[in-house]
């Protein structure tokens, strides 16, 4: 990553451009995973929110859970499932990016690389 941003700088990219055009595209997978993990953690904060179980500062989640325990369980399970599916999808997307190019016929690549260097 360091060499990449240095290469970009020698090619005339300022710090902002390096971030947007080089670092973010190459770190996309990690950035997305990190973002979703944060969402999952925030959802998990419900436990703490439930400690604030006072009539005057109820959170939406608390209201739902009080109304109907079944809805509450269903919602938390759904949240868990969605987070899980998203993480799987990201993993798949990232893997495809890394693998994708290799799907091209590798037989064509060999002779060319020999003829070329």
Residues at the interface with another protein (CB under 8 A): 3-4, 6-14, 17, 21-22, 25-26, 101-102, 104, 109, 112-113, 116-117
Query: Exposed/middle/buried for 13, CB within 10 Å: 0-12, 13-18, 19+?
Result: middle
Closest contact distance (angstroms) between CB of 16 and another protein is 10
Place of tokens 């020698």: 10
Taking the least distance from each CB to another protein, the nearer of 8 and 65 is: 8
Q: Which is nearer to another protein, 7 or 37 (CB)?
A: 7
Distance from the first to the final alpha carbon of the chain: 25
Cα–Cα distance for residue pair 86/17, rounded to 1 Å: 29
Q: How far is the CB of 105 from another protein (least distance, A)?
A: 11
CB of 54 to another protein, least distance (A): 50
Give me the residue label for tokens 């868990």: 80
Q: What six digits make up the tokens of 89?
A: 């999808």
Shorter beta-carbon distance to another protein: residue 24 or 39: 24
């Amino acid at each position: 990553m360091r060499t990449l941003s240095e290469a970009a700088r020698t090619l005339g990219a300022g710090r902002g451009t390096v971030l947007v055009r080089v670092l973010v595209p190459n770190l996309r997978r990690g950035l997305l995973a990190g973002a979703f993990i944060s969402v999952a953690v925030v959802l998990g904060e419900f436990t703490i929110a439930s400690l604030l179980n006072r009539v005057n500062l109820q959170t939406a989640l608390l209201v739902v859970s009080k109304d109907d325990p079944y809805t509450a369980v269903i919602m938390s399970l759904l949240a868990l499932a969605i987070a899980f599916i998203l993480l799987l999808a990201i993993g798949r997307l990232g893997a495809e990016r890394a693998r994708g190019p290799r799907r091209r016929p590798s037989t064509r690549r060999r002779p060319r690389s020999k003829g070329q260097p």
